[in-house]
Chain A
Amino acid sequence: MAAGKEIRTKIKSVENTRKITKAMEMVAASKMRKAQERMKMARPYAEKIARVAAHFSQAHPEYRHPFVVARDQIKRVGLIVVTTDKGLCGALNTNALRNSVSKMKEWDSQGIGVDVTVVGNKGLGFMQRMGASIVSQAAGMGDTPHLERLIGPVQVMLDAYKEGRIDALYIIYSRFINTMKQESTFTQLLPLTAEAAMEKTEHHWDYIYEPEAKSVVDSMMVRYMEALIYQAVAENLACEQSARMVAMKAASDNAKSVIEELKLVYNKTRQAAITKELSEIVAGAAAV
């Protein structure tokens, strides 16, 4: 019964695969919870800075930080693409990269050059193959992203903006909507679009700045950008884990149905073999 043995080995191997995908599903589920928490924890910081920055621009209308000033002519833009380090997470990276490629093509047709900063191994590999001009990268961030790893790569872009090498900065990352749904999102980082009109305070007040206002606001703006990008990375990580969980769940379910089908085939061949043997015996007995 050669066929039977082959099918048995096949069943065994699918079962082993299923064990792995099941384990990955559970790992992703537990990591997802942590990643979501981290995503939420990053929020108050960025909100607070945004509030202070908005107040500052209201109190000092004469001082315009370079990050706020929009340029008339856009010759070159910066793009930050946030992807994951590892695969096996469904269409998450494909969607983000497809989005980036279509944007880059659009810019290219308008004669606008693109500098790219990549976060995550998957995007890095792709952009390399594609031949994009990568100015900085942050790969191998792991499951707990640290802002420290982002400071350098982000600063490269911010410097380029300040020095006028790029005239706008955009980011593409996966936005976390819920566990089942993630959306590749394209947002403008620089120039900062005017914040929603602040409620007008009745009496004018201002902070005491220490040291002078400009330098404090400058360092705050850099931190604001970093916080925004960090948040995108944290959100992308939550997306990665939930996408992986869903993908692995689907894989486990598929393995289960494959096993069922294989078992059916196995039993059928087994029965056929038995029937054949029986009929041979009966035929032999009748002949005697």
Chain B
Amino acid sequence: MAMTIHVDIVSAEASIYSGLAEFVVVPAEMGEVGIYPRHAPMISRIKPGSVRIKKPDQADEDLIYVSGGILEVQPGVVTILSDTAIRGADLDEARVLEAKREAEEAMKNRTSAMDYAKAQAELAEAVAQLAAIQKLRKRIH
């Protein structure tokens, strides 16, 4: 039997792939890398593209699309930490601006200064309401 390496592709939201492979090709940032079992430990950023996985005892390769992320290689395990969104300095910058704009909009209708007393009063009211409901429930039973 040919030597195999374990391949895990995980994203922050879900586990995408897990299994054994004879050979893996990953679109790293500096160019495609082919990984055979017992590869030296390596870390690299990856570009959006497809990961090709040659499974043992199977003629065709599995293709999995990743939208970028980080590749970690250990002699027996390849881990791909896949991004769930397409990333890039410009894109992230745009997201930051969008988030700031939204926050500014939200800030427009804020009341003057920090008002802890009011906030606490509001919360105390909510707590009191909950307590009242609890009491009511006990009385009914």
Binding site for B on A (CB under 8 A): 38, 41-42, 44-46, 48-49, 52, 90-91, 94, 97-98, 101, 104-105, 108, 117, 124, 126, 128-138, 146-148, 151-153, 155-156, 159, 205-211, 215-216, 219-220, 223, 226-227, 230-231, 250, 254, 257-258, 261
Contacts and interface: CB of A to CB of B under 8 A. Distances in A.
Interface string B9-28: 01111110000000000001
A231 B9 CA distance: 18
B118 A220 contact: no
Q: What is the predominant secondary structure among interface residues of chain B facing chain A?
A: mixed
Interface of B: 8, 10-15, 28-30, 40-45, 69-70, 72-73, 79, 81, 83-85, 87, 92, 95-100, 102-103, 106-107, 109-116, 118-120, 122-123, 126-127, 130, 137, 140-141
Contact of A108 (B29, B114, B118): B114
Contacts of A151: 85, 87, 92, 95
Contact of B41 (A153, A159, A208, A258): A208
Contacts of A42: 12-14
Most chain A CB atoms below 10 A, which of B40, B44, B96: B96
A126 B100 CA distance: 18
A135 B103 contact: yes
A219 to B, nearest CB: 6
Given A208-B40, A208-B41, A211-B30, 17 more contacts: A41-B14, A42-B12, A42-B13, A48-B79, A49-B70, A97-B123, A130-B111, A130-B118, A130-B119, A130-B122, A134-B110, A147-B12, A155-B96, A156-B103, A205-B41, A206-B41, A257-B140
B95 A146 contact: no
B43 A219 contact: no
Residue of B13, B83, B141 contacting most chain A CB atoms (<10 Å): B13
A211 B123 CA distance: 51
Given A130-B114, A254-B137, A94 B99 contact: no
Contacts of A207: 41-43, 72-73
Given A44-B15, A131-B112, A210-B28, A223 B45 contact: no
A45 B81 contact: yes
A38 B11 CA distance: 12
B106 A134 contact: yes
Contacts of A152: 92, 95-99
Contact of B130 (A41, A91, A128, A146): A91
Contact of B12 (A90, A97, A230): A230
